[in-house]
Chains A and B, each alone.
Chain A
């Protein structure tokens, strides 16, 4: 089956930079937080530890600043990526400037694409159609006539400076929320969904001077490359 990325919806996009340990994080964590709040007024602190802080910048975007890496994550970003590009344009210079980062040891862009299905079997069948080599039939491990469920396919493709890893798998997700008895007018939540997930991690793993890093351009270019090459690569 020819693989078509347009069947999938971009669920999550993460841009991550890594660098040599940034000792200035111990001094600048507060000023980074203040700058982020000035730029993104809805900023809320999620995790605060000496060597890492995580923030939610608004409903769709979260960010983390750590001793040796920083990431920005967008959930269901706009199709033209304008929102995550604008956010990244404001976010990364704040961190890079505060931590005085001069070189990056790795730049990564993780795209998680999803396609929803009615059942776990249908999601598994989709992955098997994309990767027929994962199919099995007969009797194995004393089980006859069993079905492949939750198949998973992983490949890493790496060159001297750039690389990518691709993981295609099916997944059953469940959310269960119990409501305290005092809130008797609120219904508890117990729901499931089945998806085929395609996780593409595209990265530059050689040294990159900060003067070559432009987050919005990286997002635009790399997502375009992913959309362009993915079908041929997964299809083989």
Chain B
């Protein structure tokens, strides 16, 4: 038990601070716990709608991106259902519709590097199929990536690479064809330099 105690004003603790404020050191004086349902509050998660709801440009962009991600995720889900009922043509049609939403989604790329990376990777993954339909595993991975992105719109580049790797692990090629050629050239050059 502590030998001394300091009375801490919880009103200050519940207030956003700044540099001209003496509140910075309040935290050091004692372990402050919000007396009202602190653990319960931590368990609740803030929704996108709570944080971004005003009539602003950024809200319009965030809403549209989430709408498109939701719509694409629904199409992937529908494709999975159709595939399970052996309607391969219907499933492929849903994926084509999903592909059609990607350019607009790419226009929302300013929101985060992660969004831009995954959308571009998905675009190339579908492009590199050259018309061949996706299998259930691949559609499942596409849907997983879209859902994750919708719930975590501002992921960074590094985190989005896990989603891109997920596509590659299912046999998709999420890179531009030129990148593959360029990568071969660089690899060959390195090998030649190594041999010299």
Chain A residues proximal to chain B, CB less than 8 Å = 12, 14, 16, 46, 51-52, 54, 62, 64, 66-69, 71, 73, 93, 97, 105, 107-110, 156, 160-162, 165, 201, 203-214, 216-218, 220-222, 224-225, 228
Contact = CB atoms under 8 A, between A and B. Distances in A.
B154 A51 contact: no
26 contacts: A14-B17, A16-B17, A46-B19, A62-B18, A66-B24, A66-B27, A68-B27, A69-B27, A71-B18, A107-B46, A107-B51, A108-B15, A110-B17, A160-B44, A162-B46, A201-B16, A204-B46, A204-B50, A206-B41, A207-B44, A207-B46, A208-B46, A211-B159, A214-B112, A218-B52, A225-B53
Given A71-B18, A206-B44, A211-B153, 13 more contacts: A51-B28, A97-B156, A107-B51, A108-B15, A108-B16, A160-B44, A161-B50, A206-B42, A214-B112, A217-B56, A220-B58, A221-B58, A228-B54
B14 interface: yes
Interface of B: 14-19, 24, 27-28, 41-48, 50-59, 62, 111-112, 114, 151-156, 159
A72 B57 CA distance: 22
Nearest 5 A/B pairs, CB to CB: A108-B16, A211-B152, A224-B54, A217-B58, A110-B16
Nearest to A154: B11
A51 B24 CA distance: 11
A154 to B, nearest CB: 9
A51 B114 CA distance: 31
